[in-house]
Amino acid sequence: MSLEGLRCLVTGAGGFLGRRIVRQLLEEGREGDGPAEVRALDKAVGLEAREGGDIRDVATLQTAVQGISLVIHTACIIDILGHVDKRTLWDVNVRGTQLLLESCLRNNVSYFIYTSSIEVTGPNCRGDPIYDGDEDTAYESTQGFLYAETKREAEKSVLEMDGLPLKDGSSFVTCALRSMYLYGEGSIFLQGHLDESLQNNRTFLRISRSQALVNPAYVGNVAWAHIQAAKAMRDPEKVKRIRGRFYFVSDDTPHVSYSDLNYELTKELGFSVEPKLPMPLTIFYWYAMLLETVSFLLRPFVRYVPSVNRCLLTLLNTPFSFSYRKAQRDFGYVPRYKWEEAKQLTSQWIEKVIPLRTAYLKNKTN
């Protein structure tokens, strides 16, 4: 099946993943069997864009989804340190998703793909590991950080609305794609780590143990999974398998720790990574708890957000990897980019931004 004739809306289209999804949708169009329209609920160039669209504004959503057949919902606030207040994070990630779903039902939108996250699964507060898990892997998810809670609740809303009736007599089709940690050209997180390393003689700070293996995914492959899922929704046989379900989306990137991924992407550019954590992990947890306590005590007077917390340390130091076998089986997902190509493209981007980041950091310190 193809996307020919579909009218698509991508929320968060100016974001790291959203931009790649829009690009791939447009590529499908140039090949002759792509969507009839690609609409962006974000600031964008070269598209019919809804400038500054707020996912919490009902009027904006109503206008954005009129005439649309497929919504790919990537818009959210990613906050793992606590910079964003709880109400804003919940309003955007959860309530915004629910308002968008309601607008889709009112406007007869047929298909809805939600960009979920690995954090919906875990790791839990105990740091119980998973090696090469899948959608059927049993895992006790305990209370985690707020971002994970908002993504979990939003995903639940999306999947529960699958099968609801539409005005044309058909039913609403939804699914969720749980992405691994994303890397690639334009990654804000990767750029932040790069800045730290440039200030540390091109040496990355080690924030995760080498044995804490995860399977990051290249942004181009996760975008491609969205395209493949959208095509499957139009296939009478495949749609029966995928509707109302979630899927893990990974690729063939080697299983490494988060810190070692930074090194793998930059070692040919002369970068290194520190061999050990700055302190034993147990002490590191106590240190993080101390910072959290200080933050709590200062809250009535000043907003202090620690650079590390216990949830983040657990996330970074728990082996946690998942297979994409079910996505491959149910809707034909196969990574579009092999590891070597993804690595090369990312490294080339890093090489280009090094002079810019160096100059920025130099001006910042002067």
Report the distance separating Cα 263 and Cα 4, nearest Å: 41
For 196, the 3-state DSSP assignment is helix
State the architecture of 7-187+216-252+321-338 in CATH terms.
3-Layer(aba) Sandwich (3.40)
For 49, the 3-state DSSP assignment is strand
Summarize pLDDT for 247-305 with one digit per residue, the tens.
Answer: 999 999 999 999 999 999 999 999 999 999 999 999 999 999 999 999 999 988 999 99
Does the predicted model carry a pTM greater than 0.75?
A: yes
Note if 267 is an active site residue. Answer: no
Highest mean pLDDT among 26-30, 166-170, 362-366: 166-170
Summarize pLDDT for 17-67 with one digit per residue, the tens.
Answer: 999 999 999 998 776 677 888 999 874 334 344 445 677 888 889 999 999
Q: Which two tokens stand for residue 157?
A: 């809303």
Stretch 92-120: mean pLDDT: 96
Burial per residue of 215-242, b for 16 or more beta-carbon CB atoms within 10 angstroms, e otherwise = bbbbbbbbbbbbbbbbbbbbeeebbeeb
Stretch 93-111: mean pLDDT: 95
For 55, the 3-state DSSP assignment is coil
Instruction: For the chain, give every domain's residue range.
Output: 7-187+216-252+321-338
Confidence of residue 168 (pLDDT cuts 50, 70, 90): confident
Summarize pLDDT for 203-236 with one digit per residue, the tens.
Answer: 999 999 999 999 999 999 999 999 999 999 999 9
Average pLDDT score over the chain: 92
Percentage of the chain beyond pLDDT 70 is: 96
Which is catalytic among the residues 151, 231, 326, 343? Answer: 151
Identify the sign of the CA torsion 328, 329, 330, 331: positive
pLDDT value, residue 333: 97
Distances (CA, A) of 333 to 158, 324, 342: 21, 8, 17
pLDDT value, residue 136: 95
pLDDT value, residue 44: 38
> Does residue 366 have a pLDDT over 90?
no
pLDDT value, residue 50: 43
